[in-house]
């Protein structure tokens, strides 16, 4: 699953209040365990995608075999 798919498929109405800040807000919103777990999952997905890209780049840019 890609990060874009995770991001697009996620819609939590409680999260909308968390993301919106008003001009008069002076306090930072409280991070809950749900928010932290969501961030951890997104970080893991990004890490996995980067690993896949590195493997692909290794195949694309590897040195050609020596000519005989």
Answer yes or no: are the C-beta atoms of 42 and 7 closer than 8 Å. yes
Can you give the pLDDT at residue 26? 77
Q: Residue 23 pLDDT more than 90?
A: no
Q: What are phi and psi of 62, to 5 degrees?
A: -70, 155
**Greater confidence, 51 or 29?**
51
Task: Give CA–CA dist 56/66, Å, rounded.
Answer: 21
Tell me what percent of the residues of the chain surpass a pLDDT of 70.
71
DSSP structure class, residue 34: H
- The whole-model pTM stands at 0.54
DSSP 23: T
Say if residue 16's pLDDT is above 70.
no
Tokens 């749900």 correspond to 34
């Amino acid at each position: 699953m890609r990060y874009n798919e995770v991001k697009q498929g996620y819609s939590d109405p409680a999260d909308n209040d968390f993301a919106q800040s008003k001009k008069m807000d002076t306090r930072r919103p409280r991070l809950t365990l749900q928010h932290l777990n969501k961030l951890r999952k997104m970080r893991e997905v990004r890490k996995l995608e980067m690993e896949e890209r590195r493997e692909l780049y290794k195949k694309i840019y590897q040195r050609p075999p020596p000519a005989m």
